[in-house]
Structure 1
């Protein structure tokens, strides 16, 4: 892959059309006129994080992503704990897609096409089969699919932005009315949590190290382009919502019509035909996001199998496609089994994706915080800095560690809202997340005593 394909793979993770149509209205409920500023704040902080992240990628050339970085920075036990957080977190995040896709397609077939009311799980199993087929094949096939879908999604969102600005005018109260978030605002924590998940996936720039052209140049360029591009894209979309709905009205409008806010606006702007096209692209957006996440999860599974932590079959590379095909099949099979299980238990699909997405987001956020600490710790060693400016390798990682530590604290404090679950579910999923990291540390210590050859491999290190 080149820079463009790598950036599109990262952008696909956040599912632009799904975010603008689904996540942004929720964010507007909590943030209102401050939503654009929240996106810009997160963009700034992730650019700061990327300074150390990119510099680290030149020192640690193992393709294990955060797994390799945490191992190099604070040791193999923490590295293995971080790898389990990543693998389970990405598998959970990706499992939001089958149920959301099924609900969207089921409603469209019944209401727009007057078609049969097919049970949701058949649609869910169908999309799992499609993404697993693509993830099984060469990464450039996935990249081509993702690039095509991303271009179409971006066009729809840009059209929405332009029409929102054109139709703003003085008819709605408050005008743009943009504002900066206040630290005393009780809802800023939830707003940050809903927005930060839109940036996940940029880790792919180092995970695909073995599958990109000229990684020394491609990885830094793709990282900065992805982070800045995502931030600006969503900030402009948030401004478009505010421009159309009015600054003083946007929060109430988002709360009153969260699910259909984007669709209703688009139908008012461009008519039913364009809105129906957008619904179809929304479904392909979900597919692209799921594919991007499946590719990342498969490569974490592959890395852990290469290190002999997971069964070695998962480390097999397809002789023709060069892909970790067994790991990709395993992720798809896990999603399929979970879909069948939840359907047999009678759990409604709309109950599945908030829990899957929210708990997975918390796992990856915790890993991002740990990685920030690891980058800072790595560059405390004079040999690692090698004359590099201190602000790049010490100050920037320290700032990002403090920031993501605060966001992680907010996530813990608001975890029930993040997964839209009860107190019992909150306790179960939060305990499970911390148990993954602690369990990874404990297992690494066991390997150090009982299987030193496996322990030596941790972090995709050559032995």
Structure 2
């Protein structure tokens, strides 16, 4: 084959049979993002932890994070209008810092989402195991069977067209959000609006004890809105859908959780919220729901908590599969992972690979005798740190990208300079807090901290080194990294 022929040959990224397809609208896209944070899991599991660190400033922390991440979204959305491919942060870092850093970012993303998603099987297993044995007086089934069962279900859904996953996620989100809204309303009603009871909340201050950990735990609830650009090829009218879904998702997540945290305070009292959370972190939501509404409502909430974990896992699996698909399409991972299902137009092989990886990990940890209670905090914490680090790198890449373009394509100073600078400072602070508080983030020892943190940074720099290897040994693969389509 001549060099001229090679130069005109289309890569899989540019052929229709290798392109994903779907028909999601703004609502379904927002629900897919919201599912990532697992609303009922957050309200029942993470907000009590946030209250333990921050007390009556918890709603204010969500408000602060919402404002800051809306600022981040300004540059994010603007970038999505210039870099028009579904590579997500991978494509953005490539556009700003070049292909080596982009590949390092892609490795961070794939690792981060794979680990975040693996929080779900053990958490789902211990939650369902307890519900079956305690509430239903059913058999005591080993946790790994539940874990393998949920992996099979989400992998089946991820295999099919994205519209099916979107419908499932939308249904689950509406049900669990309804439970949270009912809890909020009854909590506020129980206080009668009595300010002396302590229905009010305060904004956080830099001198607040525990502020760093509170910010760190709360910011993870916003992860997943990158999906709005990852699904570019699978949404209707992406030029309008992506910006609307991004802003709605960030604002919706922030407001939803701020009100839920406020509802806890309305029920517990501002002066008592932190102590109550410290004394009863695990069962705070269940006990509050039982006291306010009754045991039947609390049991319904537990059932929906189980489906909430499933929805979150499905959302993460879809994102991880699309990162795997992008890297395979670019030639970095085996070509089979870049296959598109002829009928479902889904990255079915990558979806299967993610599920099989989680299944194998479940089997291995079971054989090693690792408790599921120890698995999900490590998986969630280490994965969240990788995604947070990637968000910080991305915010910097967005700033650099638009600074380079100002000489020939100047655009809004607010969107391309000011907002990205604010994002770099804010996400840099959160990343610093994550580094110094990493043991608390993963709930692990000093040795575990050293292993996982070293591995996370090694992923990024290893990706850079591998990109240089590709440039010298496989230039045709290097040329495809990031699949840039820039306006």
TM-score under structure 1 length normalisation? 0.98
Structure 1 residues 23-62: aligned runs within 5 Å: 23-62=46-85
The offset of 1:275, in angstroms, is 1.2
Counterparts of 1:58 and 1:169, CA distance in 2: 47
Counterpart position of 1:141: 164
Cα 1:159/1:346, change in 2 over 3 Å: same
Counterparts of 1:407 and 1:454, CA distance in 2: 35
1:458 aligns with 2:471: no
Match of 1:236 among 246, 255, 259: 259
The offset of 1:206, in angstroms, is 0.2
Unaligned runs of 5+ in 1: none
The offset of 1:171, in angstroms, is 8.8
Counterpart position of 2:439: 416
Are 2:95 and 2:484, in contact at CA under 8 Å, matched by a contact in 1? no
Are 2:83 and 2:485, in contact at CA under 8 Å, matched by a contact in 1? no
Counterpart position of 1:434: 457
Counterpart position of 2:396: 373
Counterpart position of 1:191: 214
Counterpart position of 1:280: 303
Counterpart position of 2:123: 100
Q: State the Cα deviation string for residues 373-409 of structure 1 (Å, max 9, x = none).
A: 0000000123588342111111100100110001000
Counterparts of 2:182 and 2:485, CA distance in 1: 49
Counterpart position of 1:390: 413
Counterparts of 2:279 and 2:405, CA distance in 1: 56
Q: State the Cα deviation string for residues 22-58 of structure 1 (Å, max 9, x = none).
A: 0000010001111111101110111001111101101
The offset of 1:177, in angstroms, is 3.9
TM-score under structure 2 length normalisation? 0.93
Counterpart position of 1:354: 377
Counterparts of 2:137 and 2:322, CA distance in 1: 41
Are 1:65 and 1:204, in contact at CA under 8 Å, matched by a contact in 2? yes
Are 2:83 and 2:484, in contact at CA under 8 Å, matched by a contact in 1? no
Counterparts of 1:251 and 1:177, CA distance in 2: 14
Counterparts of 1:394 and 1:22, CA distance in 2: 37
Match of 2:426 among 380, 385, 403: 403
Structure 1 residues 304-319: aligned runs within 5 Å: 304-319=327-342
Counterparts of 1:222 and 1:95, CA distance in 2: 26
Cα 1:2/1:403, change in 2 over 3 Å: same
Counterpart position of 2:13: none
Cα 1:385/1:128, change in 2 over 3 Å: farther
The offset of 1:271, in angstroms, is 1.2
Say which SS state the counterpart of residue 321 (structure 1) adopts: coil
**Aligned alpha-carbon RMSD (Å):** 1.4
* Runs of 4+ in structure 1 over 6 Å off: 170-173
Unaligned runs of 5+ in 2: 1-23
> Would you say how many aligned residue pairs link Structure 1 and Structure 2?
463
1:69 aligns with 2:92: yes
Counterparts of 1:263 and 1:55, CA distance in 2: 42
Counterparts of 1:333 and 1:11, CA distance in 2: 25
